[in-house]
Structure 1
Amino acid sequence: MIEIVARNGSPEAMLCPAFICDACRKQVMEAGNVIYAVRYPDQSERETSPLFVAHKGACDMAVQQWLAANYPVADGWSDLWDEIDDFLAYLGGNFKRSFAEDADGQYVPHVVVMPATSPKLP
């Protein structure tokens, strides 16, 4: 997840935003994925999971397995991911773009569905 991490040291103590892996709880730097689940129960609304973050490889696989158990395909969920670099580019672009004023698209109402269990992974 994106978290605020307390950091001590020079030149001063700080609270730093960072990507923290939901599998190993270590900082993700340079290469990692933002992972989430989505479903469309009907065409008028979309449901998503919260966003999760993982290092590529074993951590990514562990988060995807946890996601599949909490947001099952049998219930209409699909898991998706973006590389963090791409996610940041999309986020930066959307920060300056109004969905409500987009003449080329239509805003789809959405609900964030919280998981039944915590993503505390081994």
Structure 2
Amino acid sequence: MADILSILRPFVQECNWYVHDLNGSSEIALTELFPEDSKGIRIVTSTEMLIEKVKEVNQFESGVFIAISNDKYIKWDDRELPETEEEEGLQHSSAKIEIRAFDFSYYEIYGTKVELKEMIEQKLLLNLERGI
């Protein structure tokens, strides 16, 4: 996940990350790594910080990570929070990028820019070729 976020970094410089439906395994409790605010929402205020946090997670069983411009106030409806097992596509109209983690090794990435897909594929393939 940290590799994916590193690739996405240019697209999400000025974003907060909203984390939902989080399950996985780590040495540190996920509730400590991703604490909820007073409204029960998990927010990570930079991509760099999110990269550091996900490095602490051994595996994600599930999770939704949504990047939204940090100049927007987002009010979440408790009855309709994003879920990993939702239909394809962005789950919030202000989202720039959404990453869903599934079953310990699978990720889906949704975005608003077409060139994002090609860039991710190219960089991931290049990393695989290098053995990274």
TM norm structure 1: 0.27
Structure with the higher helix share, 1 or 2: 2
Larger radius of gyration: 1
